[in-house]
Amino acid sequence: MKSTYSNRSSRTSVDSVMTPMIDVVFLLLIFFLATSSFQKLEKLLPSAVAASPDPKPQGADSDPQPDTPTTDLSDVVVEIQLPLGNAATQTIRYVVNSEPVDSYQTLEARLKAILKVRLDVPIVIDPADRVPSGEAIRIYDMVRLNGATAVFLVAR
């Protein structure tokens, strides 16, 4: 039994062959869109603190304004610093968006105030090289217990 194929006999159009493949591509596209997550990528996270606003020129406003925190709620960077010297005898210093903080209790109060305004503000914890990891974890736990949803640790 020899079969011969003729080019003239049953020709199918290109459109009818491509239709099922286009359907499959659209189904895959819908699947990937439905299952993807839209979280920030780590490389898009803030890596530096925004510059502080320029001071007003003299004579522009003579009325003193009440002290308000200049913390920008687009992101909060908590730096943990350890002065040079013996690490066992040095006290740990905290800096929130380039503003020094007196103690851990003051840091906790400031972060609680920020989290009362907005729970999804990105909080970036940036410990210095010689800071014990337990201190960074303590601040991370405190922020998470107060309801923060976006907390990040800087790794070196």
pLDDT tens digits, 15-38: 677 888 899 999 999 998 888 876
* Mean predicted confidence (pLDDT) in 97-113: 89
Residue 65 reports pLDDT greater than 50: no
Question: Residue 3 phi/psi, 5° resolution?
Answer: -110, 140
Predicted model pTM: 0.52
Return the higher-pLDDT residue of 10 and 77: 77
Confidence of residue 5 (pLDDT cuts 50, 70, 90): low
The pLDDT value given to residue 121: 87
Burial class (CB in 10 A: 0-12, 13-18, 19+), 142: middle
CATH of domain 71-153: 3.30.420.270
Q: Which of 12-16, 59-63, 92-96 has the lowest mean pLDDT?
A: 59-63
* pLDDT at residue number 141: 92
Q: What's residue 24's pLDDT? A: 92
pLDDT of residue 55: 52
Contacts of 100 (CB under 8 A, 6+ apart): 93, 94
11 pLDDT tier (thresholds 50, 70, 90)? low
Q: Calculate mean pLDDT across residues 2-15.
A: 59
What pLDDT shows up at residue 9?
Answer: 52
Measured at the alpha carbon of residue 115, what is the angle toward residues 110 and 119, in degrees to the nearest 5? 160
